[in-house]
């Protein structure tokens, strides 16, 4: 447990599967100061952890909000939880805005939001052809990343 003046119980947040931490909220630490103190051994990162039932990795529970409770309840690391929740949403989506292509997950976002550089892929136009035959043109397509092999599914659409 961090004991520094600026630590408020959950003021440091783990960044992915690394031993790096970031400060969030108000406090006396800057991001770099917090990392330096942990790296120098002057303070310890939060020591509560969960071992993932899917991949076997562990997750240190220094996250803010309800995420630590969800990870503990589900016995999942951040990455497996992310994909578990994405696929729950994907199942409800019924090929409307979410799709898989080439082992990557994508979401078609509202065209009226964003614009130009604030749109997915900088507003580049994509033609998405779903396996159902439906075709969607989008200038606000976002990738959700490469799907880990343990979650991989068949393609549900083509990018044209």
Q: 141-152: per-residue pLDDT in tens?
A: 999 999 998 898
Answer yes or no: do 100 and 153 share one domain: yes
Residue 52 within a domain: yes
Mark the ranges of the chain whose per-residue pLDDT is less than 70: 1-35, 38, 43-47, 63-64, 114-116
The count of domains in the chain is 2
Write the pLDDT tens digit of every residue in 38-56.
677 776 665 678 889 999 8
Residue 2 within a domain: no
Give the pLDDT of residue 33: 67
Distance CA(28)–CA(77), nearest Å, equals 29
- State if pTM tops 0.95: no
Answer yes or no: do 56 and 103 share one domain: no
- Domain span at residue 104? 93-159
Query: Interior CA angle at 63 toward 86 and 45, to 5°?
Result: 135
Residue 62 within a domain: yes
Residue 1 within a domain: no
């Amino acid at each position: 447990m961090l004991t520094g003046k600026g630590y408020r119980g959950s003021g440091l947040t783990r960044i992915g599967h690394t031993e790096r931490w970031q400060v969030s909220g108000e406090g006396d630490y800057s991001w770099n100061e917090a990392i330096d103190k942990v790296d120098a051994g002057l303070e310890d990162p939060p020591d509560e952890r969960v071992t993932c039932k899917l991949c076997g990795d562990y997750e240190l529970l220094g996250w803010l909000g309800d995420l630590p409770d969800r990870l503990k309840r589900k016995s999942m690391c951040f990455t497996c939880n992310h994909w578990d929740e994405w696929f729950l949403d994907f199942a409800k989506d019924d090929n409307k805005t979410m799709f898989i292509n080439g082992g990557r997950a994508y979401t078609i976002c509202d065209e009226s939001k964003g614009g130009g550089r604030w749109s997915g892929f900088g507003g580049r136009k994509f033609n998405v052809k779903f396996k159902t035959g439906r075709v969607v043109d989008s200038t606000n397509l976002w990738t959700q990343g490469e799907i880990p092999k343990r979650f991989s599914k068949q393609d549900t659409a083509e990018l044209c």
